[in-house]
Amino acid sequence: MRLSRRSWAAVAALAIGSVGAASAAAFLPGVRGYALYHGYATLQASVAATEVPLPTSASRCVNCHDAAPSGAPRRVVRLDRASLVQPTARRGGPVSAYDAASFCAAVREGLDPSFVILDRTMPRFALSDDDCGALWRYVSAR
């Protein structure tokens, strides 16, 4: 069964509000990743090559990586299974595909699977291994 965006939001808000994000992730697969991606759980991020923290409202993945990002750089693509795991030449680099480890390197350090540096408009996130794994599971299943 696939839930609508509204249904996921309700489930995430209910689960996180009633038992906390860590507990919700334990009994509702996908909730933590959804909550991180959509901004229901806080993501700590900074501007690339600086230590300037971004406001949490500016560090939501959905701000730039949704189906029709508003105000996002034109190069930004929707994050889903096809855009991540399909072998593709990205930013002039060799053909590559993301896996969980390369995805976490991209969001933390700004390096894609072929070690090409992501644009500086992509924030660098301070994510635990558990949160990065939850985010990967969510975006790679879309």
Q: 25-38: per-residue pLDDT in tens?
A: 444 657 999 999 99
How confident is residue 133, by pLDDT bands cut at 50, 70 and 90? very high
User: pLDDT digit string (tens) for 94-107?
Assistant: 999 999 999 999 99
- Would the pLDDT of 12 be above 60? no
d(CA 137, CA 55): 25
Q: What is the structure's pLDDT at 6?
A: 58
- The half-sphere exposure of 139 on its side-chain side, counting CA atoms within 13 A, is 26
Q: Which phi and psi (to 5°) does residue 126 adopt?
A: -100, 95
Q: Determine contact, residues 103/132, Cβ cutoff 8 Å.
A: yes
What is the value of pTM for the model shown? 0.75
Q: Could you give the 3-state DSSP secondary structure of residue 128?
A: coil
Q: What is the structure's pLDDT at 43?
A: 92
Q: What is the structure's pLDDT at 92?
A: 81
d(CA 11, CA 34): 10
How confident is residue 4, by pLDDT bands cut at 50, 70 and 90? low
Average of per-residue pLDDT across 35-55: 91
